[in-house]
Amino acid sequence: MTRRYLASEAQARFASSRVDVIRRLGEVAVRQGCDFVLVCGDVFEHAQLTPQTVRRALEALRAVEVPVYLLPGNHDHLGPLSLWATALLAEELPAHVHVLDAPGVHAVAPGVEIVAVPWHGKHPGSDLVAEVVADLPQGPAPQGTVRVVAAHGAVDVLDQDRRSASAIAVAPLVAALEAGQIHYVALGDRHSRTRVDPAIWYCGAPEPTAWREQDPGDVLVVEVEPAGAARAAVQVTPHTVATWRFVALDRRTDCDEDLDALDAELAALPDKDRTVVRLGLRGTLGLAQHARLEELLARHADLLAALHRPSQHTDLVLAGEDDIADLGLGGFLAAAVEEIRTVSHEAAPTRPGVDGGAAATTDFVPGRPDDADSARDALALLYRLASGGAR
């Protein structure tokens, strides 16, 4: 999985962590006495992976000391050109790792069945889970048998627009749980840990991937005790395995005290090399304060995995240009300042500022035509350089 806001060295660490988490997941399974590990789809991001990526994932799976069951999802489905059909996987898949490539019941241990619902294409046209569960024998599962449904996709109660024909209907699953026909439903697709029902859960992504996710970075340890023709006793316990964090900050910066607070907040973040910050800033700053802001953000960006500043989350206003006059520039630089000032006032800003001020963009795009925004950026940079700034 790639992220455009990660520099190459951070992207390499991000990719490595997504393999390392497999080992940590296996360690949790051993410590908790789990009988097996179940991954409900999207084991791989897509089918066009390098042999190195696949082999490293398989090597990490080889270190897991309990059986592992992998369900193909929408990103790694069983359709044409499936990754699962490659010679590499066929020849090098560890013996204790099993691909749930056929829908229906898989006996994985004495008294334990996985009811698998793999994807055979990118866009199924119906509720695959309902079809597979409908084929189960009617009535409670056999005495002493634990029956776990492994599925992938969005459930209908979370698909508010009801636009997806493949949405998983929850009501029939709850009825099957109440009847003891099935005992637990493990779901993949959502990156956020989500409880749909006491016995229907999304575990979420084991490493976070975006700011919108809620409670990512866990695995779920599930204990199931069948109860005949009734709901099984189910206990679900999250265990954190993630080492990365995605942090969203939205702050006002109107004065030096605000800049002090922002500087301290970024400095206090732990594990900076595995922390991705999305920063939104709003407020009014002078050129000197703007220069200080850029310096402190550049300093923290060197330590963080990424400091992402999308323009839609930024509305900074440059209150005035008097600061640059204090530098006493002359000659060519004074002429350049006047030229830049002229450009900065010739066009309206691309985004309105507050109190009629000019909104400064934080997106520096090579080759962008000269405009009011780029002129104001140039003034701020000139101030930093002329005042002895390090950057």
What does the pLDDT look like over 134-163, one tens digit per residue? 999 999 999 999 999 999 999 999 876 667
**Between 61 and 389, residue with greater pLDDT:** 61
State phi, psi for 374 to the nearest 5 degrees.
Answer: -70, -30
Which token pair is 126?
A: 């119906």
Tell me if 47 sits within 8 A of 81, measured CB to CB.
yes
How is domain 8-240 classified at the architecture level of CATH?
Answer: 4-Layer Sandwich (3.60)
Mean pLDDT of the chain: 87
Band the pLDDT of 316: cuts 50, 70, 90. Answer: confident
What whole-number distance in Å separates Cα of residue 166 and Cα of residue 127? 4
Which token pair is 333?
A: 């630089």
**Between 25 and 322, residue with greater pLDDT:** 25
> DSSP readout, 95-139?
TTEEE--SSEEEEEETTEEEEE---SSSS-SS-HHHHHHHTSPSS
Tell me if 337 sits within 8 A of 376, measured CB to CB.
no
The pTM for the full model equals 0.82
Q: What is the pLDDT of residues 189-227, one digit of tens each?
A: 999 999 999 999 999 999 999 999 999 999 999 999 999
Q: What's the whole-number mean pLDDT along residues 124-128?
A: 89
Q: What confidence score (pLDDT) does residue 287 get?
A: 80
Give me the residue label for tokens 């002090």. 260
Q: What confidence score (pLDDT) does residue 147 get?
A: 97
In the predicted model, is pLDDT for residue 166 greater than 90?
no
Tell me if 105 sits within 8 A of 132, measured CB to CB.
no
Band the pLDDT of 357: cuts 50, 70, 90. Answer: very low
Instruction: Tell which phi-psi region holds residue 143, choosing left (phi > 0), alpha (psi between -120 and 50) or beta.
Output: beta
Q: What confidence score (pLDDT) does residue 48 get?
A: 87
Band the pLDDT of 63: cuts 50, 70, 90. Answer: very high
Which amino acid, residue 190? R
- The three-state secondary structure class of 176 is helix
Q: What confidence score (pLDDT) does residue 339 get?
A: 72
State phi, psi for 192 to the nearest 5 degrees.
Answer: -95, 135
Residue spans per domain, the chain: 8-240, 245-386
What whole-number distance in Å separates Cα of residue 227 and Cα of residue 232? 5
Q: What confidence score (pLDDT) does residue 288 get?
A: 84
Q: What is the pLDDT of residues 251-286, one digit of tens each?
A: 999 999 999 999 999 999 999 999 999 999 999 888
Tell me if 151 sits within 8 A of 198, measured CB to CB.
no
